[in-house]
Structure 1
Amino acid sequence: MADSNEAETTPSKPENSMGIRHLIIFLMFLGTTVSYATRVSMSVGIVAMTSNNSYDYPVFDWDRSTQDTILSSFFWGYVLLQVPAGMLAGRFGGKFLIFAAMACTGVVNLVMPLAAVKGDWIAVCACRIVMGLTQGLLYPSLHGILGRWAPANERGRLGTFVYAGAQLGTIIELMTSGMLSASSWGWPSVFYVAGVTCLIWSLLWLVLGASTPGTSKWISKEERKYIESNVGSDELGHSKMPTPWSSIFSSLPFYAILLAHCGQNLGFWTLLTELPSYMKNVLHVDIKDNGKLSALPYVAMYVLSFVFSWIADFLVNRNLISLVSSRKIFNTIAHWGPAVALLGLSYLPAGNLTLAVIILTLTVGLNGAHYVGFMLSHIDLSPNHASTLMGITNGVSAIFSIMAPLSVSIVVTDQTEASEWRKVFFISIAFYFLSNLFYLLFISGDVQDWNEPKTDGAIEDGSKKEKKPENNAAYYRRKSLGENIF
């Protein structure tokens, strides 16, 4: 009888290679693609909005300071709702939070041209703040849904696929916004296209999306039981599961994720926001004038993220390395790889276009490994509370995204002097190195005790059993140093 019960706790993988979980993942991938495209749209659109055109569209006399204020205003709102969004997604599911985020983003983009004409830069900032607030709901909700839908042995590939949409959205926007702005439709079309795309996606998500396998109208009983047996989530029947705040904030593996997220954001946003200025003023190379070169680093990150995810899942699923070892290896690639490349770039001789672009592309491309590094560690530690954990780390790390351009303003007094820029790069290198070192020492690949609710149950017709599956490697590994500190 015991053997029979154990067999029921670990249903076999459905015969169909594609299931509803893959549809959900694909929709979330499209969601990150569209959402990031809307973020980047202002970076491209603001250039056209402040430049003369041949079609009599309004031109705004915004100085550099005003433009920087408009671009940064997105993050003012983005930081605020991360933790509440994580808690709401963990309690009620992320489906309707994601719908609200994307639908509101669509509406804001549609009114952006009118707001600019009627209210000038203040109205544009207000729109960007609202968009930041709504998109602050997105990542915690995506992470929570990913924790419910992605089985442990598929998590690396599925998670990377979802979040790689950010790079694809950036690539698409860089390649298309300039053409739209220069067309007879003018710069307003950049925001209209973004808005309509968001609303179309929102409708698709409302019909097909679901927070959990148990709330999906389309999933088969077989696939549902398979997913719920292999994600480590006990959310069914626990919609009012309390958040274990004291356990979270006394967990060194959680702090390992938090520091890794902050280090990655500071280094990555320094690369994306300030390296073009460094290359222009110090290396005398201006890649902003070439759309293909501007998009190349993002293309490299997008492609390499899939390479890294496939290798990571291959190594873990073949039992060549443990899950936590995989997280450490690829997080190191994502942090220490760019740190070394940044060091080389800071001493690169002026005027070397080819080498500068190669190093920049390599630096950004290696960041793609973080999708199978710390980005999935939230789910490894606690599938039930992954949305809350992501809300905390994404919210705090967003502050470091804002700090990236500010560090240049504070440290660099002469933008043509290489030695001044090295100070900025050394700050990023230090954060990359130290945050990953802490991650290596204290991260865990095991589901934590505070993930589990104190109830009994069984998987019968899709209902979750509390007992952990005996052959699920995600549960049974040697604990890391950080788990036994507190």
Structure 2
Amino acid sequence: MLPKDVSAKNAGENAAKIESPRLGVRHLQSMLIFFGLCVVFMLRVNLSVAIVAMMDRNATNPDFPEYAWSEQTKSLLLSSFFWGYFSTQIPGGQLAQRFGGKVMLLFSVGISAFLALFTPFSAKLGDWQLMCALRFLQGFSQGVIYPSTHTILAKWAPPAERGVLATLCFSGSQFGTIVMLGVSGALAASKYGWPSIFYLSGCCGIIWSFVWLLWGADSPRQSKLITSQERNYIESALAEVSKCAIDETAAKLPTPWLRIFTSVPFWMLLIVNCSYNWGYWTFMTQIPTYMKSVLGKDIQSNALLSALPYTANLLLGLGFCAIAQVLLSAQVLSTNASRKIFNTIGMWIPMAAAIALGFVNADNADLAVILLTVAVGTNSATFLGAFVNHIDLSPNFAGTMMGITNCAANVMSIIAPLVVGVIVTDTTNSTQWRFVFMIMALYYFVGNLLFITFGSTKLQPWNQPVERHENQEHIKFRVVAGDQEHI
């Protein structure tokens, strides 16, 4: 425990006075969001796996027609989702702050699921043009997902459990991808054909929406399932370390845009998220092409190999989650140290793997698969680092901040493949690919270096722009000044 973590120590001692069950409704909320993100990514990647069957000219079943789309049309279809997704990131943070994360998640997943059910009919009715419009709307509706998740976690996760509960939530995205990759081949080959891929993901989304409507809650105070003991534990832990709006008035607070954009820790958070996205999406979108063209190993046509990086990401994420909980419970690490150590694992190990990939030759294709799996798998450590740091800086505006950083990060995920297209003019040229890997490694190195040097877990003074009076009836706890790091 670092000596300067005075507030962390006091917070832990005071929160410990109110005993809480090891498993409680806060964990139920995290699992609900886990499955919510699982469904969200099933809805996101369903076209990526279904389009292969949709364009299969060898299909013989007349009930499920194939489409003679060009590669350009295919690219438009696959990218249309992300244009819609990008456009609602920042508004999504404001909407989650204003109306609450629960209702925004409900509408986001519900609308996206309904559109998935309509996808096969849209292809038949309006060909690729209508499908592009539908995918854009799906992305548009999903833009509020991460801001809403952060808004909910800010009120449900005690400071000592933020990293763990956030990792449980975010791991759902990898699980959903694994599920979709695992079942899509069997569904497309079944008597129900490729439309069943969309029907399955859509139905899962509808079912989750009903469950979320019944059991989901914006905060402990709004939950009908939570015990008063657990609610008091969460609220006292939050109040000890921050001026957190435990009385649900955060929606009424004006967003301090200028102070957010002049905050150094916020800019470090934005930069590290952009660096992460550049590396992650370069790995996931370009490495399969590299391995096929340079190393002669086609992992995209192998379902097991395709799912391997996502599986490693899920399992290692849960493993890091367990390690972090043990370390924090034993007070071995402060929050500041924990965030930066795990973020370093999540960015500098993939950096080393990227450099190594640039020097792997065709005789070591299996080594390349291992390096890819390690790189994408260890990326999950960032869930315990920069991903949850938004809540450390400002619980009241975590959703808004996530919308901004995720918006900027998604720009990187669009630019990165374009840069690869400019550099790699010959996909069999290993020297050109090596340059791509060096750029990726540089992004990982610089982004994390800035985060560990200038990043912070201190509560920012603009978290509470409106002065509050302790004699107000709705203030339940005396809070401490937010100028010290916390656990």
The residue number in structure 2 matching 1:275 is: 287
The residue number in structure 2 matching 1:234 is: 245
1:276-323 CA distance string (max 9 Å, x none) = 000000111111121111111111111111121222232233222211
**Are 1:79 and 2:86 matched, yes or no?**
yes
Equivalent of 1:414, from 418, 426, 429? 426
Taking a change above 3 Å as real, the CA distance of residues 249 and 353 of structure 1, as seen in their structure-2 partners, is same
Separation of aligned partners in 2, 1:299 and 1:341: 18
Residue pairs, 1:417-428, within 5 angstroms = 417-428=429-440
CA contact (8 A) 2:19 2:233 kept: yes
The residue number in structure 2 matching 1:33 is: 38
Equivalent of 2:365, from 353, 370, 390? 353
1:71-111 CA distance string (max 9 Å, x none) = 11111011111111111212331111100000001111011
Residue pairs, 1:444-483, within 5 angstroms = 444-452=456-464, 453-457=466-470, 464-468=476-480, 476-477=484-485
**Are 1:396 and 2:408 matched, yes or no?**
yes
User: Does the residue aligned with 1:383 lie in a helix, a strand or coil?
Assistant: coil
Deviation at 1:235, TM superposition (A): 4.4
Aligned-partner residue type, residue 91 of structure 2: P
Separation of aligned partners in 2, 1:219 and 1:443: 34
Residue pairs, 1:31-430, within 5 angstroms = 31-51=36-56, 52-56=58-62, 57-231=64-238, 232=242, 233-236=244-247, 238=249, 239-430=251-442
Separation of aligned partners in 2, 1:459 and 1:173: 51
Taking a change above 3 Å as real, the CA distance of residues 237 and 299 of structure 1, as seen in their structure-2 partners, is closer
CA contact (8 A) 1:93 1:212 kept: no
**Are 1:441 and 2:453 matched, yes or no?**
yes
Deviation at 1:7, TM superposition (A): 12
User: Does the residue aligned with 2:69 lie in a helix, a strand or coil?
Assistant: coil
CA contact (8 A) 1:74 1:132 kept: yes
RMSD: 2.1
The residue number in structure 1 matching 2:3 is: none
Deviation at 1:384, TM superposition (A): 1.1
Separation of aligned partners in 1, 2:445 and 2:337: 18
> How many residues are matched?
469
Structure 2 residue ranges without an equivalent (≥5): 1-10
Deviation at 1:351, TM superposition (A): 4.0
User: Does the residue aligned with 2:372 lie in a helix, a strand or coil?
Assistant: helix
1:343-373 CA distance string (max 9 Å, x none) = 1111101142321211111111110110001
1:179-234 CA distance string (max 9 Å, x none) = 10111110000001111110110011111111111222222222212111223422
Taking a change above 3 Å as real, the CA distance of residues 7 and 170 of structure 1, as seen in their structure-2 partners, is closer
Aligned-partner residue type, residue 34 of structure 1: V
Separation of aligned partners in 2, 1:287 and 1:205: 36
User: Does the residue aligned with 1:450 lie in a helix, a strand or coil?
Assistant: helix
Deviation at 1:69, TM superposition (A): 1.4
1:127-154 CA distance string (max 9 Å, x none) = 1110101100111001110111011111
User: Does the residue aligned with 1:287 lie in a helix, a strand or coil?
Assistant: coil
Aligned-partner residue type, residue 29 of structure 1: F
Separation of aligned partners in 1, 2:381 and 2:472: 35
Taking a change above 3 Å as real, the CA distance of residues 458 and 102 of structure 1, as seen in their structure-2 partners, is farther
Taking a change above 3 Å as real, the CA distance of residues 94 and 139 of structure 1, as seen in their structure-2 partners, is same
CA contact (8 A) 2:299 2:305 kept: yes
CA contact (8 A) 2:458 2:484 kept: yes
Separation of aligned partners in 2, 1:311 and 1:247: 35
1:243-269 CA distance string (max 9 Å, x none) = 111221111110111011100001000
- TM-score, structure 2 as length reference: 0.92
Separation of aligned partners in 1, 2:78 and 2:363: 29
The residue number in structure 1 matching 2:8 is: none
CA contact (8 A) 1:225 1:459 kept: no
Aligned-partner residue type, residue 360 of structure 1: L
CA contact (8 A) 1:459 1:465 kept: no
The farther-off stretch of 443-452 and 146-155 is 443-452
CA contact (8 A) 2:100 2:218 kept: yes
The farther-off stretch of 150-159 and 17-26 is 17-26
Aligned-partner residue type, residue 468 of structure 2: T
Runs of 4+ residues over 6 Å off in structure 1: 6-9
Separation of aligned partners in 1, 2:436 and 2:13: 56
Separation of aligned partners in 1, 2:479 and 2:233: 15
User: Does the residue aligned with 1:465 lie in a helix, a strand or coil?
Assistant: coil
Identity of aligned residues (%): 44
Aligned-partner residue type, residue 362 of structure 1: V
Separation of aligned partners in 2, 1:204 and 1:84: 26
User: Does the residue aligned with 1:164 lie in a helix, a strand or coil?
Assistant: helix
Aligned-partner residue type, residue 252 of structure 2: K
Aligned-partner residue type, residue 381 of structure 1: L
Aligned-partner residue type, residue 396 of structure 1: A
Deviation at 1:48, TM superposition (A): 0.6
Separation of aligned partners in 1, 2:472 and 2:33: 27
The farther-off stretch of 347-356 and 73-82 is 347-356
Taking a change above 3 Å as real, the CA distance of residues 218 and 55 of structure 1, as seen in their structure-2 partners, is same
Separation of aligned partners in 1, 2:347 and 2:37: 23
Deviation at 1:10, TM superposition (A): 4.4
Separation of aligned partners in 1, 2:194 and 2:469: 58
Deviation at 1:13, TM superposition (A): 4.2
Separation of aligned partners in 1, 2:123 and 2:406: 30
The farther-off stretch of 201-210 and 303-312 is 303-312
